[in-house]
Homo-oligomer: A and B are copies of this chain.
Amino acid sequence: MAEIQWNKLGAYLKETQILGSIQNTLYWDQNTGMPKKGASWRSEQLTYIAKILHRRNSSEEFYNLIQSAKNELLDTEQNSNNQLFIKDKERNINLLIKEFNRAKNLDPKLVESLAKAKSKGYESWQEAKKKSDFKVFLPFFEELVKLRIEEAKQISDQYLPWETLAQPFEPEITLKWLNKMFQPLKDTLPELIKGISKSKKYHWDLSPASQQILCSKLLDEFGRDKDLVVVGKSPHPFSITLGPNDYRITTRIVEGEPLSSFLATAHEWGHSIYEQGLPSQSHQWFAWPLGQATSMGIHESQSLFWENRIVKSKSFSKRFFKKFVSAGCTLNNYFELWKSINHLEAGLNRVEADELTYGLHILVRTELEIDLIEGGLPAEDIPEAWNKRYGELLGIKPSNDSEGCLQDVHWSEGAFGYFPSYLLGHLISAQISSQMERDIGSTDDLIQNGEYQKIIFWLRNNVHKYGRSVNSMELVRAVTNEELTPNYFINHLKSKINDFC
């Protein structure tokens, strides 16, 4: 079977991927190593790469390569006896066409303005957060909102702007569908919170050095290959892939929160192990769409799985308690550690939130950004609207913008439509975990026996290895034999509260 055009397209995609991975390397360094004063030159580097990438992704040359590969594929289709592989190839082509159109529709000037606005947004957000002053960030935020709405309009008139912006994270998402998923949560979660007032808070702490050692032991426990996965520190934990064999995760130490870095490490490990399991691993699809994560909801389901299903389980506390004691933990027994890890309390901080209140954080942010993009909410009203909704949904109010609307990085880079993925991830994780237990037994038992590789094997074969060959909802259906529903998550929360109070 001749694959001349196909290979030409592959070579083009590889160069694009090289540039993309360079962009990721610059981002990694920006967040883990770069001196502060390097920011403005870094922004010039990133703008430059973004410009070349956009040019490549919307060039006539690229379009012609896709078309030629498509025609070649159509020609060989009839004679091939490997229809499964042909189907994958077709899907690659279709996704490329879809993304090409997305890029092609954008005015290159807008792309450049956006890159600059993101970088300035991020910079001013850092300062605003430090000073706890939303006004420092406001003009750059307004610019970002304006430019991203403009972007959405250039891309599609079929979807609402917010939907268009959210679709790179969750393909084909609509407000109507999202509402169907989230409304039951909005109806249930605030009620459930009222039941958690009795969850005892244990007061203890660990030195930064001890926390770092524990994080390292956690990754050893999960089977991290040090020649493949590197750990750094950054203001906001993240996971990123810099090459087919180059994975990075970061964590941060939060004073007075001895479990924060530990849970973040488990979370980012989940992201990373998903990326490691993508079909890119073999280089087969690394430069192709099928080598990518199918959606951020699925991505988050994987990180939340390791954070909530593994590290927050009773058997994990039992297994790891001695290591915590060696690190200086003053709790009396593993049960206290488990209660401490699972402490439920409505707090102001999303990243530090427990499983139950986490969803409410997301509901607030999602509603706010939909109002910003679709409902005409002025950016300057964000602090007030934020505080009001926190009062309504969580029953608490931030005392300043830094612990309120400035806490998260996403909006500072104009990433609207991302937040729902976190909560969708909870839903997906709950539904998929339930299937995993039916397939290979209770998670508690597996952890007790240290059978992490069995878990990873199941995840690889049922979730990771598909990449973008199926979309997220198809994947959920394929793994669990039903449509995504919030019920598994709600039931999980109810049972956790029962366990506790």
Give chain A's interface residues, CB within 8 Å of chain B.
15, 18-19, 21-22, 25-26, 28-29, 32-38, 40-42, 44-45, 48-49, 225-230, 232, 242-248
A/B interface sample: 10 pairs, CB < 8 A: A21-B41, A22-B45, A25-B29, A25-B45, A34-B246, A37-B225, A37-B246, A38-B245, A41-B243, A42-B243
Q: How far is the CA of A244 from the CA of B42 in the complex (A)?
A: 10
State whether B33 touches A26 (Cβ < 8 A): no
- Tell me how far the C-beta of A106 lies from the nearest C-beta in chain B, rounded to whole angstroms: 21
Return A231 CB to nearest CB of chain B, in Å.
10
A466 to chain B minimum Cβ distance, whole angstroms, is 23
- In the bound complex, how far is the Cα of B293 from the Cα of A329, in angstroms? 53
A246 and B15 CA atoms in complex are apart in Å by 27
- A29→B40 CA distance, assembly (Å): 19
Q: Are B243 and A36 in contact (CB under 8 A)?
A: no
Cβ distance A51 to chain B, nearest Cβ, rounded Å: 10
Of B28, B35, B243, B246, which one neighbours A229 at CB under 8 angstroms?
B35
Since A21-B45, A36-B228 are in contact, a sample of 11 more A-B pairs with Cβ atoms closer than 8 Å, ordered by chain A residue number, is: A21-B41, A22-B48, A25-B29, A33-B232, A35-B226, A35-B227, A35-B228, A35-B229, A37-B227, A41-B246, A42-B246
Bound: A262/B42 CA distance, A:
30
B230 contacts A34, C-beta separation under 8 Å: yes
The CA-CA distance from A34 to B245 in the complex, in Å, is 10
- Contacts A25-B29, A245-B41 given; indicate if A36 touches B232 (C-beta within 8 A): no
Give, as a whole number of angstroms, the nearest-CB distance from A11 to chain B.
12
- Among B49, B228, B243, the residue within 8 A (CB) of A22 is B49
A116, chain B: closest CB distance, angstroms: 14
Say yes or no: A15 contacts B245, CB within 8 Å: no
Q: With the chains together, A33 CA to B26 CA distance in Å?
A: 13
Given the complex of chains A and B, what is the CA–CA distance between A247 and B28 in angstroms?
Answer: 17
Q: Which of these, B21, B32, B246, contacts A35 with CB under 8 Å?
A: B246
Q: In the assembled complex, which residues on chain B have CB atoms less than 8 Å from the CB atom of A35?
A: 226-230, 245-247
Which listed residue, B48, B226, B247, touches A18 by the CB 8 Å rule? B48
Residues of chain B within 8 A (CB-CB) of A230 are 33-35
Closest to A230 in B: B35
State the CA gap A245–B232 with chains docked (Å): 22
Distance in angstroms between the alpha carbons of A229 and B34 in the assembled complex: 9
Give the distance in Å from the alpha carbon of A15 to the alpha carbon of B41 in the complex. Answer: 12
Q: Which residues of B contact A48 (CB under 8 A)?
A: 15, 18-19, 22
Which residues of B are found within 8 Å of A15, using beta-carbon distances? 48
Taken together as a complex, chains A and B put the C-alpha atoms of A32 and B18 apart, in Å, by 20
Tell me which residues across on chain B come within 8 A of A245, comparing CB atoms: 35, 37-38, 40-41
Indicate if the CB atoms of A26 and B37 lie closer than 8 Å.
Answer: no
- A181 and B39 CA atoms in complex are apart in Å by 43
- The interface residues of chain B lying within 8 Å CB-to-CB of A25 are 25-26, 29, 45
**Residue of B whose beta carbon sits closest to that of A244:** B41
Once the chains are docked, how many angstroms separate the CA of A19 from the CA of B51? 13
Residues in chain B near residue A244, CB distance under 8 A: 41
Tell whether A33 pairs with B36 under 8 Å between CB atoms, given A41-B21, A41-B243. Answer: no
Give Cα A40–Cα B18 distance, bound, in whole angstroms: 12
Query: Which residues of the partner chain B approach A29 to less than 8 Å between Cβ atoms?
Result: 25, 28-29
Write out the residue numbers on chain B whose beta carbons fall within 8 Å of the beta carbon of A42.
243, 246
Give Cα distance in the complex from A69 to B69, angstroms.
Answer: 44
The residues of B that contact A26 with a CB separation of less than 8 Å are: 22, 25
Q: Are A228 and B18 in contact (CB under 8 A)?
A: no
A18 to B28, alpha carbons, bound, how many Å?
A: 17
Does B22 contact A227, Cβ atoms closer than 8 Å? no
Query: In this complex, what residue of B is CB-closest to A286?
Result: B41
| B residues in contact with A232, CB < 8 Å | 33
A430–B15 Cα gap in the complex (Å)? 49
Is B32 touching A242 in the complex (CB atoms < 8 A)? no
**Distance of A32 from chain B, by nearest CB (Å):** 7
Chain B residues within an 8 Å CB radius of A19:
48
Residues of B within 8 A of A18 (CB): 44-45, 48
How far is A248 from B37 in the complex, measured between Cα atoms in Å? 12
Residue of B nearest to A226 (CB): B35
Q: What residues of chain B lie closer than 8 Å to A33, measured between beta carbons?
A: 28, 32-33, 230, 232, 248
A246–B33 Cα distance when bound, in Å, is 10
- Write out the residue numbers on chain B whose beta carbons fall within 8 Å of the beta carbon of A34: 230, 242, 246
CA distance A28 to B38 in the complex (A): 14
Q: Which of B32, B40, B45, B228 contacts A37 (CB 8 A)?
A: B228
A221 to B243, CA, bound (A): 39
